[in-house]
Amino acid sequence: MPTVANLGPLALALSLVVAVHPAPASSAEKPAPKTGAAQAVAIVGGEPITAAEFEELAGPRLFAVRTQEYNQKRGLLEEAIDTRLLEKEGKARGISADELVRTEVDAKVPAVTEAEQKEYYEKNKPRFGSTPEADALKQIEGGLRQQRVRERRAAYTKELRDKAGVRILLDPPRVDVTSSGDDPTKGPAAAPITIVEFSDFQCPYCSRVNPTLKQVEERYGEKVRVVFRDFPLIQIHKDAAKAAEAGQCAHEQGKFWEMHDRLFANQAKLQVEALKQSASEVGLDAAAFNQCLDSGKYTAEWQKDMEEGGRYGVTGTPAFFINGRLLSGAQPLEAFTTVIDEELARAEPVAAAQGGKK
């Protein structure tokens, strides 16, 4: 039987609500029933805590719990969809779902060649330590084979999904992430997709995800607007705060994105003098930039971004809010496109309705 110590975050939150909600002694003591934000979720010393008050008290922690719950539900739903599709396709062919997988997935995965094994081994030799080369090659063969099976299965189930016209209706949690109006942006203000990124110029994961963001921009073009906000992890990245200020000083001269790319490409050179050198190399007015950086003019700017990011539930970098939906970490392109495609599909009925009113 689970205890409070090993309950998940959602169950723990619910258990705490129940724990402080004693049964009234008589029907006369029962508060009048309420609905929505005014509904009581707990009674403490005879005083109610309403749903709205609970939302405010829990703040970003509750959003994080809901996001975690959604992600778990979404994973289970994806499995259920794939199972249903495989069973349906197998039935149409007169075979079992397992036989279908063996035919369309396992049998179509190319073998891992000896050359591929050795190439991977040479590029990743330190990972294997003292493991004999022959054993390492067997591990590599098995690992690459499993990867290819996963990729082939994903591709095949996508084919089935496209043919069946699958739509996910599970509603994700969202948070209203606002912009101060002077944050660096790319893309039209009226774009149906807004990606707000909280990032740190010294964070290696933030640097790693930048090529993925460029792919997103190339794929969706004018449909996407990107907003950059600073979240320097000053406890572990000693140069991140000043780098954030450098970005804002470059923004002041209309060259934020050039400086952005330069800083992420040279994360070992974020000291003040190196920042000034980078500013000169991207074509900024050196005197104006140096004065801006030395003055600490934009210290309050990154501090404000961090404070607001914390209220939205940001605890690390990079963190993205795609139309208010949280995506944490250096995620692959597929993670972005899945959310963006769903948001575009969600926006289509709205756009159609607005068009019909004209």
- pLDDT tens digits, 213-226: 999 999 999 999 99
CATH homologous superfamily of domain 185-357? Glutaredoxin (3.40.30.10)
Q: What is the DSSP string of 303-331?
A: HHHHHHHHHHT--SSSEEEETTEEEESS-
Q: Quickly state the pLDDT bin for 35 (edges 50, 70, 90).
A: low
> How does pLDDT run across 124-151, given as a tens digit for each residue?
999 999 999 999 999 999 999 999 999 9
179/101: higher pLDDT: 101
The per-residue pLDDT for range 61-99, each reduced to its tens digit, is: 888 889 999 999 999 999 999 999 999 999 999 999 999
Residues 184, 156: Cα–Cα separation, whole Å: 40
Using the 8-state DSSP alphabet, how is residue 109 labeled?
S
Q: Model's pTM, two decimal places?
A: 0.74
What is the predicted pLDDT for the residue at 37? 63
User: What is residue 124's DSSP assignment?
Assistant: S
Q: Which two tokens stand for residue 239?
A: 């140069």
Delimiting residues of CATH 3.40.30.10 domain(s) in the chain: 185-357
Residues 278 and 273: their CA atoms lie apart, in Å, by 9
